[in-house]
């Protein structure tokens, strides 16, 4: 009952706080944080002597194929095995040629030399 009255009050009176952050600014902030996180992950991957990749695909709610790229590597500072999502890409088709090109593009995007340091790979549904 208390929550219901609070929600009803918000609907009729509105919030009393003004927000001066636009959607564009929020998206810019999210993109900036995302880039910093990705840069840190890529730096850690490059510090590791080898890595493996797991590629999986699934359909999203709009029935578009989404392909995830998960990298597994050893953190050189403490020896822990790390597993990080580095990309989630939409794929128009799931043919071998399209997925191979997508794979290559993801690693080019982050300047990761997969031909030199990739030692393991798995594909589940991709």
Phi and psi at residue 51, in whole multiples of 5°?
-155, 165
| pLDDT at residue 126 in the model | 46
| pLDDT at residue 18 in the model | 57
**How many CB atoms neighbour CB 68 within 10 A?**
16
Report the DSSP beta bridge partners of residue 121: 53
| pLDDT at residue 70 in the model | 95
| pLDDT at residue 24 in the model | 85
pTM equals: 0.74
Per-run averaged pLDDT (10 residues), the chain, 126 residues: 78 63 84 93 93 90 88 92 94 86 94 94 75
Phi and psi at residue 8, in whole multiples of 5°?
-60, -40
| pLDDT at residue 95 in the model | 83
| pLDDT at residue 16 in the model | 60
| pLDDT at residue 19 in the model | 61
| pLDDT at residue 50 in the model | 94
Q: How far apart are CA 39 and CA 89, in angstroms?
A: 18
């Amino acid at each position: 009952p208390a929550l219901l009255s609070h929600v009803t009050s918000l609907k009729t009176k509105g919030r009393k706080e003004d927000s001066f952050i636009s959607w564009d600014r929020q998206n810019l902030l999210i993109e900036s944080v995302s880039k910093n996180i990705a840069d840190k992950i890529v730096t850690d991957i490059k510090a590791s002597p080898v890595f493996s990749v797991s590629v999986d695909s699934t359909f999203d709610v709009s029935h578009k194929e989404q392909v995830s790229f998960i990298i597994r590597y050893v953190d050189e500072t403490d020896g822990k095995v790390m597993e990080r999502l580095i990309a989630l890409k939409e794929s128009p088709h799931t043919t071998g040629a399209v997925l191979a090109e997508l794979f290559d593009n993801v690693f080019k995007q982050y300047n990761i030399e997969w031909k030199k340091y990739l030692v393991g790979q798995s594909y589940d549904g991709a």
